[in-house]
C-alpha cells in the first residue's frame, strides 16, 4: 500500500511536464498536491492511473513493491489504484449499477476472489448510495448520463467506495462543487479513510482541505514539488497565494 | 418464452439414445440451372402442379433478366461475378459429417461455442456428434407441436405446407414479394428448397415463440429459403430466425425470401440473429446473404416488427420492409449490423405508407471495425393518400479503428403534407476517454469495447426476445475480438 515515486519525468506531446518528482505515500496517509494551473497536478494523477498519452522519460514508481509503470490501466486498477476523474465521461446504454458490478467483479476475478452476484451486490450498493446521499433511481440511468457536475463527482466517490482501492487519487474532485456537494463528497472520502488505504488529493483550492484534512501537503509548481509540509502549508497558500513559490521555481 | 427453455431443459436432462438416421439420396443432380432442373426439384418434392407452374414462371422471368445482364449492381458492395450455372440447385438432405466427440471439432469453433454460452448438448448437435446423451430434437418438436395444435396454429416446413395447406399457400405466396420483384427473389422463387410456413388463426395469440430450431430438419440452413407467415385477424405471433452459432456452408450464395402478412388487428414480430461464416481475416470465402424480406400490414391496426442482429456473412444485402396499407398500421425496424475484417453490408429498410394514420419506426445501429464497410440504405415513402403518417428514423454508426467505413443513404419521399417525419443520424468512434475510464475501473480493453458497443446497441437489443438478447450481446463481443489493438 505504499507508493514510492522517484525522480519522475513525464512528457506530453513533446513537452516535459513533470521534471523530477519524488514522493512517498505510506499506507493510511492522506497527501494533498496543490499548485497553480499548468503545474502538472493532473498529469501526475493520470500517470499514476497509467494513461497512455503520458510518456515517462525518466524515474520510477513503485506501488506495493511492484513496478507501477509496467502496468496497463486495468492492471493498476486491479492492484488497487483508483482515479476519481476531474471530468467523468458518459457512456450511453450501460447503467451505472451494471457498470459498477462489472468493474467490481473484474477486479475480484483478477485477485482470484469470488465474483458478487446481483443479489449480494444490491444491499452492499444501497449502503454506499446512502452514504453519498444518492437516489437509487439515478443508478438505473446510463453511466453519468444527464448527471450534473456535482452528481458526477459524487458518483466517482460512490465508485471508490464500492471498489475499495488501496490508493485513491482524487483529481480536482472539488472543482465545480457547491458547498453542500463538497460536504457530501468529503464525507464519502473520510468514511473510506483507513490504515490500509492512502489518498492523493489533487486540488487547486484550500477549501476542500478543510473537510478532508491531509497529513501532508505538497506544492507543485512547473513540474516540481517546491515545498512539502503539514496542513498549515495549505493555509499559508490560501493567505499568500502561489506567487512567492512560483518566483522560486522560475529562478531554478 | 420461459416455457421454451423449460421444455428444452427438461428433455436435455434426460438420457436419450440418439438414433441418428441418415437419409442418403443416391441421386445427385448436376450443377446448372435450366427448366429441367426446376422440374426435377419440383418432382423430387412431389409438388402439386400449381407450385411447378409458379416456379417456372419465376425461372423464365429470372432467365430473361439474366440474359439482359440485369443483375442489380447498385449496392455499395463489391463482389466477383456469380456463375449461376456453377451451383447445384438440388442437394440431398445434408448428411452431417459425423464426429465421435467434440474433441474432433476445430478448436476455434469450439472456443466460439463456449464464448457464446451454447449448452454442451447443443454444441454436440451443431457439430454433428453422434453420442448417447444428446437430446432428441424430434421429441422436443413433438411437445412443441402439441401445444401449437391445441391453439390451432399451423407451423411447419414450407414443403409440408404446400402438401397439407395448398389453399393457404396459393392464396398468399408471392402476394408480398411477387416473382418479378427483383433478380434474387425471382431466383429464389424458381429454386427455393424449403423454409417455414406459419398460419395463426383469427384471434389466436400464439402461445410460444416460434423458432426455426423447432422445425424438424431445421438445423440445416437452406441456400434458398422461402418463408411465409400469416397472422389472421386479431392474431399475434413472434418468430425467431437463426442462431448465434457460426454456421458454415459450402454454398456461397444465400438468397432467401420472407413474406409476412398481418390482417386486421394482427401483429407479427420477426427476429433474426445471423452469424453465418463471414470469411477469414483476409476476407476470403464467406457467405453472400442476399435476402428479400417484406411485411404487408394489410389490415387496420395491424403491426409488423423486424428486429435483426447481423454479424455474419461476407456480404449482407437486405432491406426488411413494411407496406403499411391498413389504416393505423405500424411498421418497425430495429437493426444492429456489424462488419469486421473485410465484411460488407448494405442493409436497411423500406417503410411504405399507404393507409391513413400509419406510423413507422426505424432504429439502425451500424458498427464498423477492421476493414468493414457498413452501409445503411433506408427509404421512407409517404404516398399521396397516406393522411396523418408519422415516421421516426434514427441511424447511428460506430466506427472502431480507422480502416473501416460507415455510409448512409436515406431516401425520404413525402407526397402528403400532413406527414410528420423525424430523422436523426450520428457517427461516432469509441472515445479514448470512454475506454480509459472503463479500463481505470479494472475492465480489460476487450471487455470495455464490448460494454461500449452493447450500450450503443441497447435500443435494439431491448426489442429482441430475451434469450436472443442475451445471446446477441455475447455474439457481438465474440465478433469484435481483436478489433481494438
Tell me: the pLDDT tens digits for B402-422?
899 999 999 999 999 999 999
Round to whole Å and give the CA distance between B232 and B334.
24
Residues of A in contact with B458 (CB under 8 A): 92-94
CB contact under 8 A, B443 and A85: no
Higher pLDDT: B133 or B446? It is B446
Does residue A252 carry a pLDDT above 70? yes
Provide the pLDDT for residue B397.
96
Interface test with A, best of B442, B445, B459, B469 (most A CBs within 10 A): B442
Provide the pLDDT for residue B141.
60
How far away is chain B from the Cα of A246, in angstroms, using its nearest Cα? 32
Instruction: Please give the C-alpha separations between residue A152 and each of A88, A101, A174, B132, in angstroms, as whole numbers.
Output: 7, 18, 11, 56
Angle between helices B445-461 and B432-440 (to 10 degrees): 110
CB contact under 8 A, B445 and A49: no
Partner residue facing B437 (CB), from A78, A89, A92: A89
Read off the pLDDT of residues B162-221 as tens digits, 9 standing for 90 and up: 999 999 999 999 999 999 999 999 999 999 988 899 999 999 999 888 886 554 333 445
CB contact under 8 A, A163 and B444: no
The pLDDT of B318-325, averaged and rounded, is: 97
Sort residue A13 into left (φ over 0), alpha (ψ -120 to 50) or beta: left
What's the mean pLDDT when you consider all of chain A?
A: 92
Provide the pLDDT for residue B200.
97
**B444 in A contact zone (CB under 8 Å):** yes
Beta strands at A55-63 and A30-34: parallel, antiparallel or unpaired: unpaired
Read off the pLDDT of residues A60-94 as tens digits, 9 standing for 90 and up: 999 999 999 999 999 999 999 999 999 999 998 99
pTM (2 decimals)? 0.84
Provide the pLDDT for residue A38.
87
ipTM of this complex prediction, to 2 decimal places: 0.95
Provide the pLDDT for residue A133.
86
What's the mean pLDDT when you consider all of chain B?
A: 85
Instruction: Tell me the pLDDT band of B299, cut-offs 50, 70 and 90.
Output: very high
For the ranges A124-128, B88-92, B331-335, the maximum mean pLDDT occurs at B331-335
Range name among A112-121, B7-16, B52-61 with the lowest pLDDT average: B7-16
Of A200, A199, A205, residue with least CA distance to A237: A205
The pLDDT of B354-367, averaged and rounded, is: 97
Provide the pLDDT for residue B124.
66
Read off the pLDDT of residues B24-83 as tens digits, 9 standing for 90 and up: 344 557 788 999 999 999 998 899 999 999 999 999 999 999 999 889 989 988 888 888
Residues of A in contact with B472 (CB under 8 A): none
Provide φ and ψ at B254, rounded to 5°: -120, 120
Please state the domain extents for chain B. Answer: 150-479
Residues of B in contact with A78 (CB under 8 A): 442
**Three-state SS sequence of chain B:** CHHHHHHHHHHHCCCCCCCCCCCCCCCCCCCCCCHHHHHHHHHHCCCCHHHHHHHHHHHHHHHHHHHCCCCCCCCCCCCCCCCHHHCCCCCCCCCCCCECCHHHCCHHHHHHHHHCCCCHHHHHHHHCECCCCCCCHHHHHHHHHHHHHHHCCEEEEHHHHHHHCHHHHHHHCCCCCCCCCCHHHHHHHHHCCECEEEEECCCCECCCCEEHHHCCCCCCCCCCEEEEEEECCCCEEEEEEECCCCECCCCCEECCEEEEEECCCCEEEEEEEECECCCCCCCCCCCEEEEEEEEEECCCCCEEEEEEEECCCCEEEECCEEEECCCCCEEEEEEEEEECCCCEEEEEEEEEECCCCCEEEEEEEEEECCCCEEEEEEEEEECCCCCCCEEEEEEEEEECCCCCEEEEEEEEEECCCCCEEEEEEEEEECCHHHHHHHHHCCCCHHHHHHHHHHHHHHHHHCCCCHHHHHHHHHHHHHHCCCCCC
Provide the pLDDT for residue B95.
47
Judged on CB neighbours under 10 Å (0-12, 13-18, 19+), B268 is: buried
Partner residue facing B454 (CB), from A49, A74, A93: A93
Residues of B in contact with A94 (CB under 8 A): 451-452, 454-455, 458
Read off the pLDDT of residues B109-136 as tens digits, 9 standing for 90 and up: 777 777 777 776 667 666 655 444 334 4
C-alpha cell at B11: 428433455
Residues of B in contact with A140 (CB under 8 A): none
Range name among A70-79, A146-155, B241-250, B330-339 with the lowest pLDDT average: B241-250
Provide the pLDDT for residue B131.
41
Domains of chain A in sequence order? 3-250 (3.40.50.300)
Does residue A163 carry a pLDDT above 60? yes
Partner residue facing B440 (CB), from A49, A94, A110: A49
Residues of B in contact with A159 (CB under 8 A): 441
Judged on CB neighbours under 10 Å (0-12, 13-18, 19+), B40 is: middle
What percent of chain B stands above pLDDT 90? 57
Round to whole Å and give the CA distance between B257 and B318.
10
Provide the pLDDT for residue B244.
64
Does residue B485 carry a pLDDT above 70? no
C-alpha cell at B316: 449482407
The pLDDT of A129-153, averaged and rounded, is: 88
The pLDDT of B324-331, averaged and rounded, is: 98
What is the interface size between A and B, counted as CB pairs within 8 Å? 73
Task: Report the residue count for chain B.
Answer: 485
A101 to chain B: closest CA residue:
B441
**B459 in A contact zone (CB under 8 Å):** yes
**B439 in A contact zone (CB under 8 Å):** yes
Read off the pLDDT of residues B257-285 as tens digits, 9 standing for 90 and up: 999 999 999 999 999 988 888 888 888 88
Round to whole Å and give the CA distance between B371 and B182.
29
Amino acid at each position: 500500500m505504499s507508493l514510492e515515486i522517484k525522480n519522475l519525468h513525464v512528457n506530453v506531446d513533446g513537452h516535459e511536464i513533470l521534471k523530477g518528482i519524488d514522493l512517498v505515500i505510506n499506507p493510511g496517509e492522506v497527501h494533498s498536491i496543490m499548485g497553480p494551473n499548468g503545474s502538472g497536478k493532473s498529469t501526475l494523477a493520470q500517470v499514476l492511473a497509467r494513461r497512455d498519452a503520458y510518456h515517462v522519460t525518466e524515474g520510477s514508481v513503485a506501488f506495493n513493491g511492484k513496478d507501477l509503470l509496467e502496468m496497463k490501466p486495468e492492471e493498476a486498477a486491479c492492484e488497487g489504484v483508483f482515479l476519481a476523474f476531474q471530468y467523468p465521461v458518459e457512456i450511453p446504454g450501460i447503467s451505472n449499477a451494471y457498470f459498477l458490478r462489472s468493474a467490481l467483479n473484474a477486479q475480484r476475478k483478477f485477485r482470484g476472489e469470488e465474483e458478487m452476484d446481483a443479489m449480494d451486490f444490491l444491499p452492499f450498493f444501497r449502503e454506499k448510495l446512502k452514504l453519498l446521499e444518492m437516489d437509487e433511481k439515478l443508478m438505473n440511468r446510463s453511466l453519468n448520463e444527464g448527471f450534473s457536475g456535482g452528481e458526477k463527482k459524487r458518483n466517482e466517490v460512490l465508485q471508490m467506495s464500492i471498489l475499495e482501492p488501496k490508493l485513491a487519487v482524487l483529481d480536482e474532485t472539488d472543482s465545480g462543487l457547491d458547498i453542500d456537494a463538497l460536504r457530501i463528497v468529503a464525507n464519502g472520502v473520510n468514511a473510506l479513510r483507513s490504515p490500509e488505504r492512502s489518498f492523493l488529493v489533487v486540488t487547486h483550492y484550500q477549501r476542500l482541505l478543510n473537510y478532508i484534512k491531509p497529513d501532508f501537503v505538497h506544492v507543485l509548481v512547473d513540474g516540481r514539488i517546491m515545498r512539502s509540509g503539514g496542513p498549515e502549508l495549505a493555509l499559508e497558500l490560501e493567505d499568500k497565494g502561489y506567487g512567492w513559490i512560483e518566483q522560486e521555481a522560475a529562478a531554478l | 418464452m420461459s416455457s421454451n427453455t423449460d421444455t428444452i431443459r427438461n428433455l436435455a436432462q434426460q438420457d436419450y439414445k440418439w438414433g441418428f438416421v441418415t437419409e442418403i439420396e443416391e441421386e445427385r443432380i448436376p450443377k446448372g440451372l435450366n427448366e429441367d432442373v426446376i422440374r426435377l426439384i419440383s418432382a423430387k418434392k412431389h409438388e402439386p402442379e400449381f407450385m411447378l407452374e409458379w416456379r417456372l414462371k419465376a425461372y423464365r422471368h429470372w432467365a430473361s433478366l439474366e440474359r439482359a445482364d440485369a443483375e442489380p449492381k447498385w449496392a455499395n458492395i463489391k463482389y466477383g461475378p456469380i456463375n449461376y450455372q456453377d451451383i447445384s440447385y438440388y442437394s440431398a438432405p445434408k448428411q452431417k459429417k459425423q464426429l465421435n466427440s467434440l474433441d474432433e471439432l476445430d478448436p476455434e469453433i469450439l472456443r466460439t461455442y463456449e464464448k457464446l454460452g451454447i449448452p454442451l448438448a447443443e454444441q454436440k448437435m451443431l457439430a454433428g456428434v453422434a453420442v448417447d446423451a444428446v437430446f432428441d430434437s424430434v421429441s422436443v418438436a413433438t411437445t412443441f407441436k402439441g401445444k401449437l395444435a391445441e391453439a390451432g396454429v399451423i407451423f411447419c416446413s414450407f414443403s409440408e405446407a404446400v402438401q397439407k395447406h395448398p389453399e393457404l399457400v396459393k392464396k398468399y405466396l408471392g402476394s408480398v414479394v411477387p416473382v418479378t420483384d427483383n433478380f434474387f427473389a425471382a431466383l429464389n422463387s424458381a429454386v427455393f428448397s424449403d423454409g417455414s410456413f406459419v398460419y395463426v388463426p383469427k384471434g389466436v395469440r400464439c402461445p410460444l415463440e416460434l423458432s426455426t430450431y423447432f422445425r424438424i430438419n431445421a438445423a440445416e440452413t437452406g441456400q434458398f429459403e422461402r418463408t411465409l407467415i400469416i397472422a389472421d385477424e386479431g392474431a399475434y405471433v413472434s418468430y425467431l430466425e437463426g442462431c448465434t452459432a457460426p454456421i458454415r456452408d459450402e454454398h456461397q450464395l444465400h438468397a432467401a425470401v420472407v413474406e409476412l402478412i398481418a390482417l386486421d388487428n394482427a401483429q407479427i414480430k420477426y427476429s433474426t440473429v445471423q452469424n453465418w461464416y463471414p470469411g477469414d481475416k483476409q476476407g476470403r470465402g464467406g457467405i453472400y446473404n442476399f435476402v428479400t424480406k417484406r411485411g404487408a400490414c394489410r389490415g387496420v391496426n395491424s403491426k409488423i416488427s423486424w428486429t435483426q442482429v447481423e454479424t455474419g456473412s461476407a456480404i449482407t444485402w437486405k432491406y426488411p420492409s413494411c407496406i403499411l396499407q391498413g389504416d393505423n398500421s405500424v411498421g418497425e425496424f430495429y437493426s444492429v449490423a456489424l462488419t469486421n475484417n473485410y465484411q460488407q453490408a448494405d442493409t436497411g429498410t423500406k417503410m411504405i405508407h399507404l393507409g391513413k394514420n400509419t406510423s413507422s419506426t426505424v432504429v439502425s445501429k451500424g458498427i464498423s471495425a477492421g476493414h468493414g464497410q457498413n452501409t445503411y440504405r433506408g427509404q421512407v415513402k409517404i404516398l399521396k393518400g397516406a393522411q396523418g403518417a408519422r415516421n421516426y428514423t434514427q441511424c447511428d454508426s460506430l466506427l472502431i479503428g480507422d480502416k473501416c467505413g460507415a455510409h448512409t443513404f436515406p431516401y425520404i419521399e413525402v407526397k402528403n403534407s400532413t406527414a410528420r417525419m423525424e430523422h436523426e443520424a450520428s457517427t461516432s468512434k469509441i472515445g479514448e476517454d470512454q475506454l480509459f475510464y472503463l479500463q481505470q475501473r479494472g475492465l480489460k480493453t476487450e471487455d470495455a469495447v464490448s460494454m461500449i458497443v452493447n450500450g450503443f446497441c441497447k435500443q435494439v437489443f431491448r426489442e429482441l426476445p430475451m434469450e436472443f438478447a442475451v445471446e446477441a450481446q455475447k455474439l457481438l463481443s465474440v465478433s469484435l475480438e481483436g478489433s481494438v489493438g
